[in-house]
Amino acid sequence: MKVMQAMNARCFGARLALLAVCAAALSAAPMVAQGRGMGRGGGGDPQKMEDRQLKVMTKQLKLTPDQVTQLKGVFADSDQQLKALRDDTSTVQADKRSKLAALMQDRQAKVRAVMTDEQKPKLDALQEKMKERRAERKGQNALGGPGAATPPQ
């Protein structure tokens, strides 16, 4: 009889420990969901994202200080145009999307114009890698992975 009580006590202890681990994991889930986008990427702050992008481009493409200055100007100009488009309440959403696409193409053309012929293929490869990462994150979000929205409760 004492053996059975000892086994039950151990089993109860293991169950209690498992319950504590599950409770801790479940209580942490909302904090992770609320903080999504706040990790490496610096959140949704466009300036931080541009700074990070420029830092990566400088390192990967070996940009000169003059090129960095030129790119900062391109980024600032496109930021102003994007803000104006975002703040424009007279334009319908579908038109905004097409204007956004045109702005991004223009920005890309200006960035490429700053690059040397040697840097352009490296820029293309860097952009392709970034595109793949976005697709991976988008796939994870759709599957409920990191960064996925939590369903309403």
Task: Supply angle C-alpha 92, 97, 101, rounded to 5.
Answer: 145
- The total of structural domains in the chain comes to 1
Is 117 part of a structural domain of the chain? yes
Domain annotation covers residue 12: no
Q: Is the pLDDT of residue 26 over 50?
A: no
Let me know: does 72 contact 54? Beta carbons within 8 Å: yes
Q: What pLDDT digit, counting tens, does each position of 85-130 carry?
A: 989 989 888 899 999 999 999 999 999 999 999 999 999 999 999 8
Residue 89 lies in a domain: yes
Q: Say if residues 103 and 111 touch (Cβ distance below 8 Å).
A: no
Its domain, for residue 84, covers 44-142
Q: Does residue 133 lie in a domain region?
A: yes
The pTM assigned to this predicted structure is 0.60
User: How far is residue 107's CA from residue 65's CA, in Å, rounded to a whole number?
Assistant: 19
Closest CA to 34 of 117, 150, 153, 152: 150
